[in-house]
Amino acid sequence: MSNTSHVAATNAAAEVPPTPSTLKTGRRAVLAASIGNALEWYDFSVYAFFAVYIAQNFFSHSDAGAELLEAFLAFGLGFVVRPLGALVLGVYGDRAGRKAALTVTILVMALGTAIIAFAPPYTAIGFGAPLLIVCGRMLQGFSAGGEVGGAAAFLIEHAPPNKKGKYASWLQASMAISNILGALVATAVTLLLTREQVGEWGWRLPFILGLAIAPVGLWLRKTLHETPQFEAEMDRQHRAHQAAKTPLLQVVRDYPKALATGFGFSVLWAVCVYVLIIFMPIYVQRTLHFPGQQAFLAALIGNCFMAVACVYAGALSDRFGRRAVLTWGATLMLVGVYPLLAWLQAAHTLSALIVVQVVFCVMVALFTGVAPSALSELFPTRVRSTGMSLSYNAAVTIFGGFAPAILTWLTESTGNAFAPAWYVMGASVVALISIVCLPRQA
């Protein structure tokens, strides 16, 4: 039996037939997991929104470009520990359960956010200031390393068989909701405060608000039940008197092709989010010279479309298959990003910025709304959290986390305003090659 067939058979055996009670529990799981995930990624994304002000406060240089580059390098360093978070929290999720792992990610993310929110500036403690920012970012990165695998497994395993794509799409939709929250707060802060006030202390407000993740997230996730599939798998192992095996060794030994395939299309998953969604407000300010308010407003509107489009894309994948919808999304980004950026540079109006950001968000949603369910179906229940966390976070660490720093350096050093487009196009080619290896029945 092939690896793909074995995974399909194993997952089918672990399926628990839906009942009215489990359907109700599944809807509650989607709501609770999505709210917790949105709060967690809000803390993660506001760093990018306020990177300019963080650079001014914590990195001492006369060159503003060098300050911003160092702030984005600190942003990228948070991704260096993501594979470690993926290993530790992914294995923990496959052993202790999805709910237990998600609760840990909440606490670690809250701690990292608190460090950034209350860190003294460079003028107060000198070199200790950027060290605190790096420490906070690394805690956030460790937490985020386990979030995708744990949350996606949680949603998939609560979903009815014919709605797995739609349920899993809420993972990315909730990330869009977190960007909406971040953009709302960023817009409010930049509109209500002067630029000097934002630079001195106003940038801290979004991080302080983000500390609500701890009580709200813990309350939500402690009210959830463990997934039926995980409980069924644990019961099966207990009845078969199977000794507990290390999920990491299992997934590396038995599913290397699944890891490689998941890594391949996760490259675009990481790149399109961090380039077209998170980095874009900074890019249009520094490279295309749009005001901050307009950049944040376009991001806000675009992410509203993205949240809806993610769920719609997930539902489409339940009907037409994961491969088909992923291919549509990757192809659109391959051929569409460059001409859209060229038009935006030529038009340079608020309406053009909003249109481009909305189209970017819809194209990203078409791909990322399906990616969680496609990735989860590559691995059986017993190693799902570990396999997803490893393949996704390896791609994010290499190609996503340092994307803002790489693109800032390329733009500053070459003067090429279209570096983001080339980066996304390259990732799209890698993804299209990997999608061919996905199981057809998914």
Kindly report, residue by residue over 180-213, the tens digit of the pLDDT.
888 788 878 888 888 888 888 888 998 888 887 7
More confident residue, 442 or 351: 351
pLDDT of residue 218: 72
**Average of pLDDT values for 151-177?**
81
Write down the mean pLDDT value for the chain. 80
The pLDDT > 70 percentage for the chain reads 79
Q: Are 390 and 255 in contact (CB under 8 A)?
A: no
Kindly report, residue by residue over 10-21, the tens digit of the pLDDT.
454 444 455 555
d(CA 347, CA 231): 56
Architecture label for domain 3-435 = Up-down Bundle (1.20)
pLDDT band at 380 (very low <50, low <70, confident <90, very high): confident
pLDDT of residue 17: 52
Q: Are 371 and 383 in contact (CB under 8 A)?
A: no
pLDDT of residue 413: 73
**Average of pLDDT values for 14-34?**
60
pLDDT band at 5 (very low <50, low <70, confident <90, very high): very low
Dmax (CA) for the chain in angstroms is: 67
pLDDT of residue 424: 93
More confident residue, 263 or 55: 263
Q: Are 73 and 409 in contact (CB under 8 A)?
A: no
pLDDT of residue 370: 92
Q: Are 247 and 382 in contact (CB under 8 A)?
A: yes
d(CA 68, CA 294): 20
**Residues, the chain, total?**
442
**Average of pLDDT values for 83-106?**
77
Kindly report, residue by residue over 217-262, the tens digit of the pLDDT.
677 666 766 666 666 666 766 666 555 566 677 878 888 898 899 9
**Is a pLDDT exceeding 60 seen at residue 93?**
yes
Q: Which residues of 19-36 are buried (b: 16+ CB within 10 A; e: fewer)?
A: eeebeebbeebbebbbbb
pLDDT of residue 316: 94
pLDDT of residue 442: 47
pLDDT of residue 13: 42
d(CA 361, CA 263): 22
**Average of pLDDT values for 74-84?**
73
Q: What is the DSSP string of 120-188?
A: PPHHHHTTHHHHHHHHHHHHHHHHHHHHHHHHHHHHHHHS-GGGHHHHHHHHHHHHHHHHHHHHHHHHH
